[in-house]
Amino acid sequence: EVQLVESGGGLVKPGGSLRLSCAASGFTFRNAWMSWVRQAPGKGLEWVGRIKSKTDGGTTDYAAPVKGRFTLSRDDSKNTLYLQMSSLKTDDTAVYYCTTRYCSGGACYSAFDIWGQGTMVTVSS
Amino acid sequence: SYELTQPPSVSVSPGQTASISCSGDKLGSHYTSWYQQRPGQSPVLVIYQDSKRPSGIPERFSGSNSGNTATLTISGTQAMDEADYYCQAWDSSTGVFGGGTKLTVL
């Protein structure tokens, strides 16, 4: 079964740090471009960042609000994606989802396919 | 920064056609995707590359994109289609979501 399972969320004080993990199974993780998307309580979806596969350079891109504070990384030997968050702000409070790029029939597209169930991050004093 | 604008809400009667718009500068030159999110659930991809349906998505879901506007159309809307819908595109290497549209099936 194709699955993404996020973990690591919790309550953290403003200015603090937290690392989220996303465990992948059921597909070839090392070939997947992975993203994090967040959703503040009662709000819409917001793209956070993306990491390409190592064969495609392994480069990262970030949304402006998190650039310089958040870092995406991956461990292909563990089929796991990470999101290291630092200098956290109350505005970072959200459910954080990991998601894959949609691929079908040997081609990949600029859309998000598999989504995890999300992990809640609350930044509050 | 690039922005996508959606109406906050759309209402439709069961069996009728619902249209949800998404507008952005020269959006027709960007591939647009659409996601359905039911309350308490993770998003589901319903349209990619403007008008293509992933496997398992009913044929009543269709999409188009031209000029500055992309449109998600749901024909023969069913009660189970009541959800939030989000458009999404890429501006260079930055992902962008619309603000979301709540579809109510009355």
Per-residue pLDDT of B33-91, as tens digits, reads: 999 999 999 999 999 999 999 999 999 999 999 999 999 999 999 999 999 999 999 99
Q: Do B48 and A102 count as a contact with CB atoms less than 8 A apart?
A: yes
What per-residue confidence (pLDDT) applies to B90?
A: 97
What per-residue confidence (pLDDT) applies to B70?
A: 98
What per-residue confidence (pLDDT) applies to A98?
A: 98
Which H, E and C letters describe B15-45, residue by residue? CCCEEEEEECCCHHHCCCEEEEECCCCCCEE
- For residues B52 and A53, give the distance between their C-alpha atoms in angstroms, rounded to a whole number: 24
Q: Do B54 and A115 count as a contact with CB atoms less than 8 A apart?
A: no
At B64, which amino acid appears?
S
* CA-wise closest residue to B35 among A49, A44, A22, A93: A44
**Extended strands (E) in chain A:** 3-7, 10-12, 18-25, 34-39, 45-51, 60-62, 70-75, 80-85, 94-104, 107-115, 119-123
What per-residue confidence (pLDDT) applies to A44?
A: 98
Mean pLDDT of B8-28: 97
What per-residue confidence (pLDDT) applies to A54?
A: 97
A57 backbone dihedrals φ, ψ, rounded to 5°: 110, -20
Q: Do A61 and B98 count as a contact with CB atoms less than 8 A apart?
A: no
Among chain B residues, the shortest Cα distance to A98 is held by: B42
| Residue listed under structure tokens 């402006």 | A64
Coil/strand/helix, residue A30: helix
- The first and second tokens of residue A40, run together, are 């503040």
What per-residue confidence (pLDDT) applies to B46?
A: 98
Per-residue pLDDT of chain A (125 residues; tens, 9 = 90+): 999 999 999 999 999 999 999 999 999 999 999 999 999 999 999 999 999 999 999 999 999 999 999 999 999 999 999 999 999 999 999 999 999 999 999 999 999 999 999 999 999 99
Sheet (strand A70-75) strand order = A3-7, A18-25, A80-85, A70-75
Does the beta carbon of B40 lie under 8 angstroms from any beta carbon of chain A? no
Best of A115, A117, A119, A120 to disrupt the B interface (most B CBs within 10 Å) is A115
Answer yes or no: are the C-beta atoms of B9 and B47 closer than 8 Å: no
What per-residue confidence (pLDDT) applies to A7?
A: 98
